[in-house]
């Protein structure tokens, strides 16, 4: 994952409602109705947030009869966590390993 990809994903979860949705889904899958009952916004607003989260692979969805079930994609969250950990440490993959030093 490069810096542009990481930044794009972080922008998506920078929205407080989306971040809260991810937190709610971290324990178990939930149907859209359960999510809607938790928030004080309209069904179209929830649908918008869920579409963004599904399209960016943060969340997966499946039909269960007439319900849509949503589940956190833990792999995407782990990838972001790993990328941030790389940024927060000096490793072989760190950008500081490729920069010229002693120019100043």
Domain that holds residue 36: 3-87
Structural domain total, the chain: 1
pLDDT > 80? residue 90:
no
Domain assignment of residue 103, yes or no: no
Domain assignment of residue 58, yes or no: yes
pLDDT score of 98: 76
Contact 5, 41 (CB under 8 A): no
Q: If you average pLDDT over residues 73-99, what whole number do you get? A: 84
pLDDT score of 93: 67
Domain assignment of residue 102, yes or no: no
Domain assignment of residue 92, yes or no: no
Helices (H) and strands (E) in the chain, counts: 5, 3
Domain assignment of residue 17, yes or no: yes
Whichever domain contains 50, its CATH number is 1.10.10.10
Domain assignment of residue 28, yes or no: yes
Enumerate the β-bridge partners of residue 31: 69
Contact 71, 38 (CB under 8 A): no
User: pLDDT digits over 8-55, tens only?
Assistant: 999 999 999 999 999 999 999 999 999 999 999 999 999 999 999 999
Domain assignment of residue 33, yes or no: yes
Domain assignment of residue 97, yes or no: no
Q: Which positions ≥6 away from 79 have C-beta within 8 Å?
A: 1
Sort 77 into a burial class: Cβ within 10 Å, 0-12 / 13-18 / 19+. middle
Integer Cα distance of 59 and 1 in angstroms: 18
């Amino acid at each position: 994952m490069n810096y542009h990809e990481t930044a794009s994903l972080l922008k998506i979860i920078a929205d407080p409602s989306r971040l809260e949705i991810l937190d709610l889904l971290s324990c178990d899958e939930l149907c859209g109705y359960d999510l809607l009952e938790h928030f004080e916004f309209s069904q179209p607003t929830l649908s918008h947030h869920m579409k963004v989260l599904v399209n960016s692979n943060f969340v997966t969805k499946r039909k269960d009869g007439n319900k849509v079930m949503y589940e956190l994609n833990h792999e995407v969250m782990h990838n972001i966590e790993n990328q941030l950990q790389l940024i927060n440490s000096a490793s072989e993959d760190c950008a500081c390993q490729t920069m010229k030093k002693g120019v100043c």
